Amino acid sequence: MFTLLKPSAFLLCALSLLLITACSGGSGQQNVQNDDFSSGDVEDGIVYQGVAAATDDVTNFKVNLWDNLAGGNRCGACHNQEEGQQPLFLRTDDINLAYAAANNLVDLAVPSQSRLVAKTADGHNCWSSEASVCADIITNYIEGWASAAGASSNVIVLTAPEVSQVGASRSFPLTGSAEVSNGQSFASTVYPLLREHCASCHAEDAATQQQPYFGSSDMDIAYDASRSRIKLDDPANSRFVLRLGEEFHNCWSACSADASAMSSAIASFASGIEPTEIDPALQVSAAMSLADGIVVSSGGRIENNVIALYEFKSDSTDTAFDTSGVEPALDLNLSGDIERVGGWGIRINSGKAQAATSSSRKLYELIRSTGEYAVEAWVVPANVTQEGPARIVTYSGGSNLRNFTLGQTLYNYDFMNRSSNSDANAMPFFSTADDEEVLQATLQHVVANFDPINGSSIYVNGELVASDPDSVGANLNDWDDTFAFILGNEADDEYLWQGTIRFLAIHNRVLTAEHIVTNFDVGVGQKFYLLFSVSHHVNLPESYVAFQVEQFDSYSYLFNNPFFISLSDQTPSQDIVIRGIRLGVNGKELPTGQAFGNVDTVVNAGNYNRETGVPLSELGAVISLERGPDTDEFFLSFDQIGVSQYARVEPDPPAASAPADSPASAKIALRNFEEIGASIARVTTVPLSGANRELFESVYQQLPADENAEGFLAAHQSGVMQLAIGFCNILVSDTGLRAAYFPDFSFSGAVDSDNLDSLILPLLTSLAANEVTQNGSSVPLSTQPEVSDVRQQINTLINTSEMAAAPTEAKVTAVCASIVGSAVMLIQ
């Protein structure tokens, strides 16, 4: 859940926070040494022994940010009073001065937008192989500080975007080698500079590999990595140019000259790209891309006890990075057929993602220290046919040894937890209920909890769906520290799970029911607010129609929850009609996904809220991804917006085609399961009650559910024969019933061709008449079998080698079942 604030409201909130901070730390009292303030030992042994914290917020800064970055293998190697690298936000002599310096580097309202994060994301002093991983870890540290400080990191400050006219912007060619109208291409203009001067770092074969790989020897990889750093409509403000001209990064000669050369190369490439034309009659908003949007922070999640975290933001196809910031990093090596998923995630088709046993020991130590834990994941199972259980997340040593596993069996989630109440394979384990079919092949939030007081439980989409009372009172003392942490398979590759994992967190405390609902409501993946300017259509300055937008998967975007808002302090002085909103991409309206075409709202002073605007729809729409999230440009069109109208002519619906001739239906029908049971009971004279009813109920699910002959399957016939054999066996085994049913047959003798009719005729007589009376005369039924044909088939049956030595009762049972279970009974 997110709170929207306009800039004016945000300034008031920020001012309030500043006043509170100033009051708490401005008493003038002399700071004293705090010998007990040394619990924050960092990885390389740094212990703070300086001036005591003046306020609680300084303590929060120290615990969440300083402790994690002050080490010599982090930012603390330079940014302290001894090394003198400004800003001194990690000085070791006075935490209050460090705090003051850090406040200029962080944004507690939107941690991901902090200057410290941006600097690290650009590759500055990152301790991981990818700068984005360090940026994510520092973002988590700042979110921890914000949460402890009471700042709301899920507050969204709406700010006016740069207005770009639809169709006035250029779109990237599909490939880097594609020539544009002036004969140039990315490959002939920008790429040579990147390859010559940036490949020493920004290439996958560089000695010091650094993402993104825009200097790659593979031009297609370089093109994909470069597009977000190129502004086709404003080459001089491209990220590549600014990095050289203003930040003096890796210049190969004079930085100003290098920036000019890069700008010229981009301009040469861009000048040959024709702007997209749009129908001039459409009433459109300004254009927006995801890069122009306001990032919706994932703040608000409960992550106080996260010890391993996977958001899958990196593009790496080799590693899934643990961005929890809890050392050692539990990074996962990706092997087999594993794909990166747009909107953050990995899709496991085969193989697995596995951590080293040495780093996996972190789970053993930190979970056993509390005796409880939670596994939290956003997953999309590929299907509901996987068994084993198939391993979604496991901390194990093979198929028969584990500490814990979250798995799938058909429609069920399984939670295997090794404890004092289980064996070394976490058996017995518990699952969600079969009949509830909780697991579905769609995006689901799943949490598996264990603690000794409440035992094990499973939550799906914020709701408790299963709990295990037998695990109450158990402990984790028998866990093994030699196992490996794995996603998508077992350590011995025996239990592959196929599907997508969008997010994964391991907590060394359980998540409460309230916390689980909170994390479910926050959702998963990167989200944006796109503010489409409509000020040119309405008599209200700084007016926008805003959507929450995210990349839904590798092939689509999700647009939802549109609302109208003005960033000015004014309210509408007259009605603003908003009718028929349609989405457009790259200069054209989309042919599908127009869920907002029926919007019909009037915004006025009576319903307008100056802080939140006016909601326009609760619907969402999934639209196709075309060129990619870095380059797709969106716009809105309206049937009416303010006084601007578009006379939309809906296309005529296609003419109805002539109805096709339906295939001929069967002229016969079958008995359904209840009719079959009643018929066999009546034919054999065996009552359908007591133990006989139980026999029927044991096979009725194998019998036809309806009377449609075209739906009859081999499994149905198998069920019919099981029931016929069972009832015939009861008939033949009961001396009283069989004597009354077969009065002319002697069970002390053998079954042969001479006495076969004494068995066949009673059965056929009970099944159906061979003839009916019509107009006073007996008329044979043309669809009933002839007695002679039945006799021949039964004679062949009893004379087979398998039946030749069978006792008389077995032969009579076979004769009975072959007739009772035949089409003579089944067809009606």
User: Tens of pLDDT along 100-115?
Assistant: 999 889 988 778 888 9
Cα–Cα distance between 752 and 415 in angstroms, integer? 61
Cα–Cα distance between 788 and 286 in angstroms, integer? 87
- Categorize the per-residue pLDDT at 771 as very low, low, confident or very high, splitting at 50, 70 and 90: low
Segment among 45-49, 68-72, 679-683 with least mean pLDDT: 45-49
Reduce the DSSP state of residue 271 to 3 states and report it.
helix
Q: In terms of pLDDT, which residue wins out, 299 or 589?
A: 589
Share of the chain above pLDDT 90, in %: 51
Q: Which pLDDT value is given to residue 783?
A: 67
Reduce the DSSP state of residue 318 to 3 states and report it.
coil
CA 153 to chain centre: 23
Residue of 628, 620, 541, 550 whose CA lies nearest to 576:
541
**365 pLDDT exceeds 70?**
yes
Place of tokens 């011995």: 492
Q: Are strands 3-5 and 155-157 parallel, antiparallel or unpaired?
A: parallel
**153 pLDDT exceeds 80?**
no
Non-local CB neighbours of 183 within 8 Å, separated by 6+ positions: 272
To the nearest whole number, what is the mean pLDDT of the chain?
86
- Categorize the per-residue pLDDT at 770 as very low, low, confident or very high, splitting at 50, 70 and 90: low
**22 pLDDT exceeds 50?**
no
**45 pLDDT exceeds 60?**
no
Average the pLDDT over 402-427 and give the result.
96
Write out the DSSP string of 211-259. Answer: SS-TT-SSHHHHHHHHGGG--TT-GGGSHHHHHHHTT--S-SS-HHHHH
Average the pLDDT over 643-649 and give the result.
91
251: burial class by Cβ within 10 Å (0-12, 13-18, 19+)?
middle
Q: Which pLDDT value is given to residue 731?
A: 93
Q: Which pLDDT value is given to residue 15?
A: 35
**500 pLDDT exceeds 90?**
yes
Average the pLDDT over 20-30 and give the result.
34
Segment among 352-361, 508-517, 663-672 with least mean pLDDT: 663-672
Cα–Cα distance between 92 and 75 in angstroms, integer? 12
Average the pLDDT over 741-746 and give the result.
91
Would you say 87 and 101 are in contact if contact means Cβ atoms under 8 Å apart? yes
Segment among 166-175, 226-235, 520-529, 713-722 with least mean pLDDT: 166-175
Place of tokens 């949007």: 293
Average the pLDDT over 390-406 and give the result.
96
Q: Which pLDDT value is given to residue 404?
A: 97
**29 pLDDT exceeds 50?**
no
468's enclosing H/E stretch is strand 463-468
